[in-house]
Structure 1
Amino acid sequence: MRNQSECVAEFASQSLLKSQTVTIRDVYCRGSCSHQSAEECATATELVFPYRGLYVRHLARDQAVAETNQVLFFNACEGYRVSHPVAGGDASLSLAVREPQLREIAAHSFLRDGKMLAFRHQRVRIDARAQALVALLRHSLRQKIAEPLEAETLALTLVQRVLGPRTTHAAGATVGRQRLVDRVKFVLASDLGRRWTLAEIAAEVRGSPVYLTQVFQQVEGLPLYRYQLRLRLARALDLLPQYDDLTALSLDLGFSSHSHFSAAFRQAYGRSPSEFRQSALHR
């Protein structure tokens, strides 16, 4: 996907699974350049799930913020540019499902008309269950726990959930309102562990606190505070294998206590952090 020679050191891709049904890759970018890249082109139609960091994909006059609450759709042979407004780089799980299976799963409303397979939207917001499936699929493949049949099944379950009308949200707003929401996302991503106040966020984006809450709810379909919680919990899904002390993890992510973190995690994903780690890493 990122094929400029000057970005070779910036970009890495690891194959986790390649079967007759689905190809899964773990994709990393250091994100050293904040400005827009030269034009890039996806070689295959893929669903890309960011699980760490943030970047912006620019497609003609449209832009989409790639972060852990979203899935981005990359269409084969479609040119785009990438920028990194927040330092720290990014990482994503990329799924390429074979065309017959993808056409069978995807509702007509998700795909463009025509013979060539292509998605209509740049991105849609995913729910907590989809976030958990992304993490479970990635961790179990990296740890070589999941066998191919299980991984294929998890991947297709994830795609079915993402392309289901009841579990995703496509943003709809004017360009001005979408850009305001994007700036809020940059602020939140700059320091996930910080306990932001509404006034502080509004000051950063130069907007009214009342207007900000109204616009964010309209564009993303979630209150701002819940969106931030989803970002923190998704980061926890990524970091769980690296922490033996879950209290330290909860405090690093801005939760007031381990019990607060554990309750929020269970409410979102249906199991405690310890139970999730056990299922993903220790079968």
Structure 2
Amino acid sequence: MAEFDAHPLLITGTVGVWDVICPGVHKRKAAEECVPATHVVFPYRGVYVHHVGRTEAIAEANQTIFINEDEPYQISHPVEGGDASLSIWISAATLFELAPKEYLRTNGQAAFNRSRLRIDANAQTLMASLRHSLNRGAGETLEAESLTIALLRRALGERTRRATNGSLGRQRLVDRAKLVLASDLGRRWTLAEIAVEVGVSPVYLTQVFQQFEGIPLYRYQLQLRLARALDLLGDHDKLADLAFELGFSSHSHFSAAFKQAYGQTPSAFRRSARIR
């Protein structure tokens, strides 16, 4: 059996998420490993020990484990049964923006100065929701990226970045993001693509948009798509065609989102409104 299986769930320029399953064959320290970029790891099943030099960290569901770039580490499994974790890569720029300075090394490297951090029940819930959603293939890339950043923000602790301009400037930023979304409702935007269009970082974009609109960016986009669906229901014989035109991953995803928003499926709404 392989030492571990890493299944990619989401890969963008801002974040990457893998579901990592390890059978736990090494009771003592395994061979040294190394990763080219820093990962934040959320164990959700079983337990293992993360070794960096003489430092040890017990990896279990109440902890998040930091694996730093280019830093050799070893894994051991003193308890039988193996383990499973959600491993999240974040770009260096995103890490510097999300992580409190006291958690980071002072040499400018995108790395943590500790091996673990305790997480709370809310972070555990966010992690489980993200993992199940990605494993089902539900939702869109923008939603998955936003949920991943929300999980990291929760696990690392809130860090409020002060804006360099006043509320009017932030409102204009939000308005630009709205124009970007409305310009192509069928496009499966990533956070990085929208952030480039409005000239800020993905993390700052999600933070400011939530503050001003009271809902996450991806939910705002979903509402735009569903409102457009209400307008176009009479123009499509096949609802699957409408779903794909508006950027939904499948007819079932479209139907479920529509029902959650409006209390009935698109077909039922079309019949009740006598559109066709």
SS at match of 1:13: strand
Aligned residue number for residue 227 of structure 2 = none
Residue number among 64, 69, 90 corresponding to 1:97 in the alignment:
90
Per-residue CA deviation, residues 205-262 of structure 1 (Å, 9 max, x unaligned), is: xxxxxxxxxxxxxxxxxxxxxxxxxxxxxxxxxxxxxxxxxxxxxxxxxxxxxxxxxx
Which amino acid letter does the alignment assign opposite residue 54 of structure 1?
V
1:86 matched to 2:79? The reply is yes
Aligned residue number for residue 52 of structure 2 = 59
Ranges in structure 2 where 5+ consecutive residues have no aligned partner:
160-255, 261-276
Which amino acid letter does the alignment assign opposite residue 20 of structure 1?
G
Distance 1:123 1:12 in 2: 22
| CA apart distance, 1:61 | 1.1
Per-residue CA deviation, residues 126-160 of structure 1 (Å, 9 max, x unaligned), is: 00000001100000000011211111001001111
Alpha-carbon distance change, 100 to 165 in structure 1, aligned in 2, over 3 angstroms: closer
| CA apart distance, 1:42 | 2.0
Tell me: higher relative CO, structure 1 or 2? Use CA pairs within 8 A at least 6 residues apart: 1
Ranges in structure 1 where 5+ consecutive residues have no aligned partner:
1-7, 167-278
Distance 2:139 2:79 in 1: 33
Which structure 1 residue ranges, 4+ long, deviate > 6 Å from structure 2?
Answer: none
Distance 2:23 2:128 in 1: 20
Distance 1:42 1:101 in 2: 18
Q: Map residues 5-44 of structure 1 onto 2, 5 A cutoff.
A: 9-44=2-37
Which amino acid letter does the alignment assign opposite residue 141 of structure 1?
L
Aligned residue number for residue 127 of structure 2 = 134
* Bigger-Rg structure (1/2): 2
Aligned residue number for residue 190 of structure 1 = none
Q: TM-score scaled by structure 1?
A: 0.55
Which amino acid letter does the alignment assign opposite residue 50 of structure 2?
R
1:118 matched to 2:122? The reply is no
Q: Map residues 221-260 of structure 1 onto 2, 5 A cutoff.
A: none
| CA apart distance, 1:44 | 1.6
| CA apart distance, 1:165 | 6.6
Per-residue CA deviation, residues 82-141 of structure 1 (Å, 9 max, x unaligned), is: 110111000000111111111111111010001221101100110000000110000000
Per-residue CA deviation, residues 7-27 of structure 1 (Å, 9 max, x unaligned), is: x71211100000121100000
SS at match of 1:130: helix
SS at match of 1:140: helix
Q: TM-score scaled by structure 2?
A: 0.56
SS at match of 2:40: strand
